[in-house]
Structure formats: structure tokens, C-alpha cells
Amino acid sequence: MVHSESEELVQLDTGYDGELLLPYKLYQDLALYQWEYPEEYWSVGKTVSGEILELILAKGQVLIPRWNVALEVFIETFEGNEELLLGRSFIRKFKVLLDGPGNKVCLVGAPCGKET
């Protein structure tokens, strides 16, 4: 998919019911532990294979450059995670078009070709 270097393509996983899951290393590199929610607010996540994982929680902003929009979101991670995913709670804020032939997901209202 075509996108500028200042943008990051993020996979949408409708099986994940949170907002944004970050790789653990990225969570550390962004120093999101300085915006962390208390442990008593952390969720327990269950994978499709039944693994139980404790999810570290912080609040941050997602920027959508082409819309010039900043969204406040809950960010989750766990030790060892390497996935970067948007989940159902994130897309609940938008109308979303699944463009099968175009092999992309469009946030409705965005210019054509806006992938998430």
C-alpha cells in the first residue's frame, strides 16, 4: 500500500476488542510508562489459543496525519508483544468501509485511499 514515511500502517483486528495494542518495545521507546494507568485498572487478555495475559494500560494520542486529527485512546501492551493493532473500540469512533477489491480499510469521510 502507498503511504508516506511520516505515516504508519496499522492492522485492524476485529477480534481485538480494545482500542490500540502496541508492541512492548514501542511502548517502552515512547515512554508511555510515564502516562500509565494503575495496575488495578489493567485488564486480563485472552488469546484465541486460551493464553491469559495481563495488559499494561496507558492513555495516549493517535494522530491521523491526513485528517489532522488527534484522538485520545487507551493503549495496551504486554511483555513480549510484537503486534501493533487497532481494535474494535477504536473503529467504534468511525464509520468504516471494508474495501475488499482495494485491499484496504477506509475511514469514511477520509480522502480515498486512507488506510488504517
Partner 1 sequence: MTINTKIPEDVEARFRRTVEQLYGTGGTAIALERAIELWLSETKYEIVAIERKLNNDALKRLQPELEKQQGRYVVIAHGKLQGVGDSIESLRSLAPNAHHRLVFKVGEPLPRKRRLGWRVRRKQGDPSAGIAKTSSL
**Residue 43 beta carbon to partner 1: minimum distance, rounded to whole angstroms:** 5
Of residues 50 and 111, the one with the C-beta less far from partner 1: 50
Q: Which of 22, 81, 105, 116: binder of partner 1 (CB under 8 A)?
A: 81
Q: CA Rg, the chain, in Å? A: 15
Q: Which stretch binds partner 1 (CB under 8 A): 2-10, 29-37, 97-105, 107-115?
A: 29-37
Cα dihedral value 98, 107, 104, 23, nearest 10: -110
